[in-house]
Amino acid sequence: MDASHFEHFALKIKIWIEDEKGSVVFGAGRLRILQAVDRLGSLQAAAKELSMSYRAVWGKIKATEDSLGQPLVARRAGGTRGGGSELTPLGKALVERFQRLQTLTETAADDLFQGVFTERDRD
């Protein structure tokens, strides 16, 4: 195999967490939802930004909360319009750790790709 073929290619990677039954616990889609809720302070606003229904956004969050047995999102106290949501400490930790895991995994995968596909021919 001629390594030069692969010099201009990139390895892509997608990661997600599953439970024992093979159901998704968390992944890139739910990360985007939690990030939007954190930034916008509202499930409704997050849903709008992500072009999803409120029901779909809430369903994804609820599914992860059920897997973990603890809330990721809480009603925000006070506020002039008396509403809004914010991430719980668990929600914030999940966002931070999953992002970190994504970055670390991408870096590791890219290093392995370079090693496996640009090493000198053995065949």
Q: Which residues in this chain contact its own copies in the complex, by CB under 8 A?
A: 1-2, 5-6, 8-20, 25, 67-70, 89-90, 92-94, 97, 100-101, 104-105, 108-109, 112-113, 116-117, 123
Tokens matching residue 76: 């925000």
**Single-letter residue type at 79:** G
Query: In terms of Cα–Cα distance, which of 70, 59, 72 is closest to 98?
Result: 72
Specify the residue, 16 or 83, whose C-beta has the smaller distance to its own copies: 16
Backbone angles phi, psi at 75, to 5 degrees: -65, 135
- Give me the least distance between CB of 30 and its own copies, in Å please: 13
What is the spatial distance between Cα 84 and Cα 75, in angstroms, rounded to a whole number? 6
What is the spatial distance between Cα 59 and Cα 63, in angstroms, rounded to a whole number? 6
- Give me the least distance between CB of 57 and its own copies, in Å please: 22
Specify the residue, 34 or 47, whose C-beta has the smaller distance to its own copies: 34
Specify the residue, 12 or 81, whose C-beta has the smaller distance to its own copies: 12
